Chain A
Amino acid sequence: MNDPGPDLETLTRRLADTPPDFMDEPRVGGSGRVAVPALVNDLAGMHGARLALAVLDGFKGQSARSDRNRLAVAMICAWLLADPWLLAQRLDPASLVQVLAEVAAEMAAATPAHRFAADAERREELVRTMLGRLGYRPAGETPIQAADRLAAISATERRRLLEASRAAEQRAREIREALARKVAAESADKWTRE
């Protein structure tokens, strides 16, 4: 976060204007339309680099459960990283791809991809996280200010994640208990039984 970066507003507006093509369905297994490895390769090309095919393996989708949201976030990240200011920096392709992969995986763990375009707080979270990982801070902010704001957003998000995860576990336990009750086994009237 040591280097001054682009205007925060410019990047969050860019996310708000994410084109529909970047919010289309990533290819996972046999379904979806967007080949994310090709998209990331194009991005690297715009940054003036060529990538070895093996570097792109992590952007192939195998299962919807583990890959769909991560790849959908990666598509939005790719759109963000094609911002003209960032392109002009000629970022190192290896670190660019690594940061993209890491940020997409982290962000996807808690948030549906399209909220990074539709929701103002999530847009700011994504922009600040991405800039921080690339070593930049938003224009007009000191390193300490940028670090504080990113930490504040991240802490709120981590808390939300933790609470959501606890609530989900408790709900699943309650459902299992409800299903196992004797009265649940008694069932109720149906005119036919399969």
Chain B
Amino acid sequence: MTDAPVDDDPLHCERFPTLSPDGQRMLDFMLGHPCAPLYRNKSGNRLLAHEVEAQRAYEREVGAASVGWLPDAVPDWVPSIVENVFAQVPHYRALGSPPRFLEDVAPVSRADFAAGIAQFVPDHVPLDRMIHFRTTGTTGHPLLLPSHPVVAARYAAYHKRALRRVGVEPAHGRGQVGVVLLGYQKQCFSYVSVTPTMDESGLAKLNLHPDDWRHPDDRARYLDALAPEIVAGDPISFAEYLKLPLTRAPRALLSVSMTLLPGLRERLELRFGCPVLDIYSLNEVGPVGVFDARLGGHLLLQPRLYVEILDRAGRPVPAGEMGEITVTGGFNFCLPLLRYRTGDFASLGFSDEGPVLLGLSGRRPVRYLARGDWINNIDVTHALLPFPISHFNVHQRADASVALRLAPDAMTHAGAAQAALASLFGQQMVTVELLQADDKTLQYTSDLAGAHS
């Protein structure tokens, strides 16, 4: 490692309240490496000293707890959550007195959050350190979800729980890089940080897209130099990761955001000789479950998250029947959840280790052929970001032409949205059609060979 000047940005201390000289050296190493990518953003752990200690205790607690509820038995911690939320959260307070039974709480969906997210933030949550996570998601237009540095840090507790199941106990520490998060997008939030609960091991979120590197070959050199213990990404970034001539392998891969198809998982396991965990995770909820082929589905990870499977009318379906995954509880104290309909579908099974989501039908990665290159569906989302459209579908036909399907109320944006997509795919390649679906729409679809990498 080489010494580099300390960051003189006045917000540096807010990003890294507990940063030591060793931690600074780790940041300098990741930023100053001759093969480093272009880091486009800045972020940090933002944890205060007492929060670092609390996080360690939280990880121990989550590691030791079980997801102990049984079929048709609402856990005993749920009624107090219902009562607190009805007392402290404006949306629920407006509904009147807390109901005696969870089943009497009217479910909410992303559309309710989009209509007024402030109504779902409890009265007591201080706002001075509030952060947000933007979901560009697949279920609607972008939404800013309230969160907090402590909430972001808590993700690690659930990842460690999932990793422990496959015999991986993260052990990175001072002077090592712990986690690298991979993206593969034309535009990607990228930055470096350190993890104070792991003795300021390095954390980098980087974009494998060649546009963010001085030379495409730097990608493998840099990742080998970082030698992260854990690599996280989505199936699209992992498909690119597989192509790199890496000489070092992580101890585990964490795949989130989209369905990880078995073929890609096997290739990753073979190539890196380590476990590949497919984690079902949502910005609104955090890591929900980890896939286990032996259990036939995603084992639930959060001891304080109750999952129901609801039919279209909002009624619970019997165990084993498919329906919408609906969650209560969670660990984001800025956004406590009461019967939040996720927009994803599964049935619920039970194993010795706890409840399991079976047949999860979440999001399938789609890539599009644009001017001769494959691009990520997230790039399509970025192109459509300026438009207030909640339901849409971008479909690439077998001849590579693209149909943008918009709901009737979004047709006023048709011309501008078509032009935005034409800038990606080329003039004359994009047509606009009317979308005739009123339910959750598969937003990214393609008939083109190779679209599902």
Chain A positions near chain B (C-beta within 8 angstroms)? 23-25, 28-32, 63-65, 68-69, 72-73, 108, 112-115, 168, 171-176, 178-181, 183-194
Chain B residues whose CB sits within 8 angstroms of the CB of A28 once the complex forms: 106
User: In the complex where A186-B43, A191-B181, A191-B230 touch, is A179 in contact with B256 (Cβ < 8 A)?
Assistant: no
Who on chain B is nearest to A172 by CB? B118
How far in angstroms is the closest Cβ of chain A from B225? 20
Asked whether B43 lies within 8 Å of A30 as measured between CB atoms, the reply is no
Chain A neighbourhood of B121, CB < 8 A: 175
Do residues B99 and A192 form an inter-chain contact, with CB atoms below 8 A? no
CB neighbours (8 Å) of A72 from chain B are 96-97
Name 17 A/B residue pairs within 8 A (Cβ), A-sorted: A28-B106, A29-B106, A30-B313, A31-B104, A31-B315, A64-B106, A68-B95, A69-B94, A72-B96, A108-B96, A179-B144, A183-B131, A184-B144, A186-B15, A193-B189, A193-B256, A194-B281
Set A32, A108, A173, A189: member contacting B195, Cβ < 8 A? A189
Chain A nearest CB from B77 CB (Å) reads 21
Contact yes or no, A189 B203, CB < 8 A: yes
What A residues does B256 contact at CB under 8 A?
192-194
Q: Which residues of A contact B282 (CB under 8 A)?
A: 194
Q: In the assembled complex, which residues on chain B have CB atoms less than 8 Å from the CB atom of A114?
A: 96-97
Query: Are A189 and B146 touching (Cβ within 8 A)?
Result: no
B4 located at the interface, meaning its Cβ lies under 8 Å from any Cβ of chain A in the complex? no
Is B116 a contact of A191 with CB atoms below 8 Å? no
Task: Please give me the residue from chain A that is nearest to B258 by CB atom.
Answer: A194
- The bracket for how many chain B residues form the interface is 35 or more
Render B337-360 as a binary contact track against A, CB cut-off 8 A, 1 for contact: 000000000000000000000000
Contact partners of B298 in chain A: CB under 8 A: none
Which residue in chain B gives the minimum CB-CB distance to A181? B130
Which residues does chain B contribute within 8 Å of A63, judged by CB atoms?
A: 106
CB-defined interface of B149-173 with A at 8 Å, one 1/0 digit per residue?
1001101100100000000000000
Q: Closest Cβ of chain B: how far from A32's Cβ, in Å?
A: 6
| B376 CB within 8 Å of chain A | no
In B273-326, which residues have CB < 8 Å from any A CB? Answer: 279, 281-283, 287, 313-315
Segment 20-45 of B: residues with Cβ below 8 Å from A:
41-45
For B181, list chain A residues within 8 Å (CB).
191-193
Report the minimal beta-carbon distance from A194 to chain B, rounded to whole angstroms: 5
Nearest residue in A to B191 (C-beta to C-beta)? A186
Tell me if B381 counts as interface (CB < 8 A to partner A): no
Q: A191–B254 contact, CB under 8 A?
A: yes
For A30, list chain B residues within 8 Å (CB).
313-315
Residues of B within 8 A of A189 (CB): 43-46, 149, 152-153, 193, 195, 203
> Contact mask B78-112 → A, CB, 8 Å, 1/0?
00000000100010011111111101101000000
Chain B residues lying within 8 Å of A187, measured Cβ to Cβ, are 43, 131-133, 147, 152, 189
B283 and A194 contact, CB distance less than 8 A: yes
From the candidates A69, A181, A192, name the one contacting B281 in the complex (CB within 8 A). A192
Q: How far is the CA of A192 from the CA of B96 in the complex (A)?
A: 37
Would you call B119 an interface residue if the criterion is a C-beta within 8 Å of the partner chain's C-beta atoms? yes
What separation, in Å, do the CA atoms of A113 and B104 have in the docked complex? Answer: 15
How far, in whole Å, are A66 and B76 apart by their CA atoms in the complex? 29
Q: Given A30-B313, A190-B155, A191-B155 in contact, is the A112-B96 Cβ separation under 8 Å?
A: yes
B135 at the binding interface (Cβ < 8 Å):
yes
On whether the beta carbons of A191 and B179 are closer than 8 Å, the reply is: yes
Question: Is the CB–CB distance between B257 and A194 below 8 Å?
Answer: yes
Q: In the assembled complex, which residues on chain A have CB atoms less than 8 Å from the CB atom of B123? A: 171
A73 to B11, CA, bound (A): 51
B205 touching A193, Cβ below 8 Å: yes
Give CA–CA (A178, B193) in the complex, Å: 23
Contacts of A31 in B (CB 8 A): 103-104, 106, 314-315
Is B134 close to A, CB under 8 A? yes
CB atoms of B279 and A190 under 8 A apart:
no
Which 8 interchain pairs have the tightest Cβ spacing? A69-B96, A64-B106, A114-B97, A172-B118, A175-B118, A178-B127, A188-B152, A112-B97
A176: nearest chain-B partner, CB-CB: B118
Residue B14 CB within 8 A of the other chain: yes
- Among A31, A168, A188, A190, max chain B CB count under 10 A is at A190
Q: How far is the CB of A36 from chain B (nearest CB, A)?
A: 13
From known contacts A30-B314, A113-B97, infer whether A186 and B41 are also in contact, taking CB-CB under 8 Å.
yes
Q: How far is the CA of A174 from the CA of B128 in the complex (A)?
A: 10
18 further contact pairs, Cβ within 8 A, besides A112-B86, A112-B93: A31-B106, A31-B314, A65-B94, A65-B106, A69-B94, A108-B96, A112-B96, A112-B97, A114-B96, A168-B90, A172-B118, A186-B44, A188-B149, A189-B203, A191-B155, A191-B230, A192-B254, A193-B256
